[in-house]
Amino acid sequence: MNNSPVVIVTGASRGLGAAVAGWLAKAGAGLSLVARSEGDLNRLAKDLVHPGGEPLVCRADISDYDACRQVVGDTLAHFGRIDSLVNNAGIVQPIARISDSDPADWRYNLEVNLIGPFNLTRAAISHLRKRTGRIVNVSSGAANLALENVSAYCTGKAALNHFTRVLAAEESALTALTVRPGVVDTAMQTYIRREGPKSMPADQAAYYQQLKDHGQLEPPEIPARSIAWLALHAPRQFSGQFFDYDDPRISSKALEVFGEKLV
């Protein structure tokens, strides 16, 4: 076992999570890559540099507590330690008015966006305490907005922020925080542009389309760099807070540590 920090990253198969994993690998961290798509994870693991050790691929649905316990157990068996969690996995659906939402879809959104981070935190917390570890929960500006037709997503992210505040209050040995990654050019935005017009008011759907058309979506690598820095270096005084990815206290430090280019 080497002395590289070990980070579990959920939603790691693509988009923001894959970019977070890329920056962490570049910094020499050991990685457990978690997602439901094992094929995509294997491709990512093959492409990553890994001075921190061969990445561990963990196919898991984080809404299942037993699956999260398995991820933690496999990570410990592979690396011998856990230093940080990046709870990035998230879904936006259902896109529908509350009155039209499928109850099962609404519930599953919270199971991924809120219960998933709880599950992994609960499974790993005793091991994180040993490392005075860090938990970075990827939230959203939607946590503070009443956005029509995405009630589950807004609710789950708002609850995630408050869960993190309570976690920080309870766990003085840990640094737990949430981060807003901005509006990122990922599959979630593609899904919103495709499905939004079926349920959203025309002006709301047009807003998401113009973000893409006008080049206003952030490349995943930019917020991912800030998230990776937080996973490795977030100071204790950040615990319990909700940060923007481009907060200069984070983004300037991340640029200094990681450099401009992911590859």
Whether the Cβ atoms of residue 103 and residue 96 lie closer than 8 Å to each other: no
Give 126's contacts (C-beta < 8 A, 6+ positions apart): none
Rounded to 10 degrees, what is the CA torsion of 74, 238, 225, 155? 80
Residues 231 and 82: their CA atoms lie apart, in Å, by 11
Asked if 191 is an active-site residue, the reply is no
The phi, psi pair for 193, rounded to 5°, reads -65, -35
Residues 213 and 216: their CA atoms lie apart, in Å, by 8
Asked if 139 is an active-site residue, the reply is yes
Asked if 157 is an active-site residue, the reply is yes
User: Catalytic one among 4, 101, 139, 140?
Assistant: 139
Residues 94 and 91: their CA atoms lie apart, in Å, by 9
Question: 182: alpha, beta or left, given left = phi > 0 and alpha = psi -120 to 50?
Answer: left
User: Catalytic one among 108, 153, 208, 245?
Assistant: 153
Q: Enter the tokens of residue 182.
A: 């901005």
Give 163's contacts (C-beta < 8 A, 6+ positions apart): 114, 117, 118, 137
Q: Which residue has the tokens 């991340």?
A: 254
User: Catalytic one among 4, 157, 226, 253?
Assistant: 157
Q: Enter the tokens of residue 216.
A: 């206003």
- The bridge status of strand 6-10 relative to strand 30-35 is parallel
Q: How far is CA 76 from CA 8, 56, 67, 124, 215, in A?
A: 11, 11, 14, 10, 42
What is the DSSP secondary structure assignment for residue 115, as one 8-state letter?
I
Catalytic residues: 139, 153, 157
